[in-house]
Amino acid sequence: MIQWDKQYELGIKTIDDQHKELIKITGRLSDLLTNAIDGDDIYDEMVTIIEAITDYTVYHFQFEEELFNKFDYQFKDAHIAEHNKLIEEIRSLDLRAVDEDQVVYGKKILKFLITWVFKHISGSDFLYKNLFLEKGIV
């Protein structure tokens, strides 16, 4: 089970809530994989969750990037490049491979997502924290 931890909070409610939603959606994938019984066909559910993660990630990144532009965030180009790379990687997932060995491939996707999301929040996102707080983003 994947859970939010206070150590990842930026103190910016709108962004913290969006991060929590990303973790919640990723948790749905974790729960699906944990509860799958060998031989279960969970392909459709996995694809639905991966699509939800992709859609919400795009929404969240657009939200952040609008603020980067509004406040002329000095590291915006590097941060946006990270965003673009993740979206590209998610969209390039071979969903046929998911169907061949659903649980094994699903766990690889899950590990990738968990690692990326928590690393990104605790690293790159913390770099804009003070700027956004100074600008009154809550």
The predicted-structure confidence for 17-74, as pLDDT tens digits, reads as follows: 999 999 999 999 999 999 988 778 999 999 999 999 999 999 999 999 999 999 999 9
Q: Tokens 């965030």, residue?
A: 73
Q: Provide the pLDDT for residue 100.
A: 78
The one-letter amino acid code at 105 reads Y
**Joined tokens for residue 116:** 């990326």
* Domains delineated in the chain: 6-134 (1.20.120.50)
For residues 14 and 136, give the distance between their C-alpha atoms in angstroms, rounded to a whole number: 12
The predicted-structure confidence for 80-130, as pLDDT tens digits, reads as follows: 999 999 999 998 988 887 777 888 889 999 999 999 999 999 999 999 999
pTM as predicted: 0.92
